Amino acid sequence: MFAKQLSMVGVCLFVGCALGGCLADAGPDETADPAAGEPTTDVQSALYFNWQDTASPPYWSNLAKAAAHADGHTYFFYSDGWACDGTMTRVCDHAEYPYAVPGNVYKYLRGVGTMGSQFFAWYENGNFSVGDATNLGSVKGMTPFSAAPFKASQMIDAYNIPSTSKWDVYGGRWAFYWRDESNPKLVWRTIGRVSDVDYYEGQKQVQIADPATNGPIVGIDSFPSSGAITTYYAKGRMNSSLLPLNLNSLD
């Protein structure tokens, strides 16, 4: 196993600065977590910094399948059957460990999201499962879901949108993000149930960072306390925004 880490290179906080924002170079400090407090909910804000793997060229970023946040931890799941437990800024800060999926179909994993202590996972073979951080099928095995109007293989990631009303058997709504098969610059979002991805809202276009420069999105995470959406790009850039339809936002 390669060890994995994140390196923070810059922080851009928009907290009432003059028009045009403010930019500060946080330097190479690896001991402080610049996002420990999460982006403020009082103003639109964004954090920009690079994340990288210890392998050269980056190895794990190309294998990343999904990101999920639970109990103050960020989890990254990879296609080789290993996962990371860390923070928003250092995805392997706490531990790396093997995880299980039903049928060991790691290569089919397309998205992971959490609601409470449960982890929900979707696969490109058209199924979802429910479990925990170490076994994504420990509660519920492979169960079919509707990915229409997309194909399940187009899913980038998903996260739970907390709701006070139980809109389906699990409660709450889910945001799903999708790649366009013909244009890497196009990403779409739907809102639906665990088993029906556009039950509440059809596809809407999402703004993203240029994939030619930043690579494709490898994980999308949500922080329920602030509503911030965190997006990880394969070539090392990460963005945290309060605008769910703008994953490249300088709010």
| CA atoms lying within 13 Å on the CB side of residue 185 | 3
The pairing of strands 127-131 and 140-144 is: antiparallel
pLDDT for res 58: 53
State the pLDDT confidence band at 227, using cuts at 50, 70 and 90.
confident
Contacts of 218 (CB under 8 A, 6+ apart): 61, 62, 64, 65, 67, 232, 233, 234
pTM: 0.77
116 token code pair? 């409470």
Alpha-carbon span 130 to 102, nearest angstrom: 10
Indicate the pLDDT class of residue 2, thresholds 50, 70 and 90: very low
Q: Model confidence at 23, in pLDDT bands (50, 70, 90)?
A: very low
pLDDT in tens, 37-77: 333 222 222 334 445 454 445 555 667 788 888 888 889 89
- Which H helix or E strand runs over 120? strand 118-123
* Residue boundaries of the structural domains of the chain: 4-241
Amino acid at 145: F
Query: What gap in Å lies between CA 119 and CA 87, rounded to an integer?
Result: 17
Backbone angles phi, psi at 145, to 5 degrees: -135, 160
Q: Where are the alpha helices (DSSP H) in the chain?
A: 211-214
Domain 4-241 has CATH 3.30.70: no
What integer best gives the mean pLDDT of the chain?
75
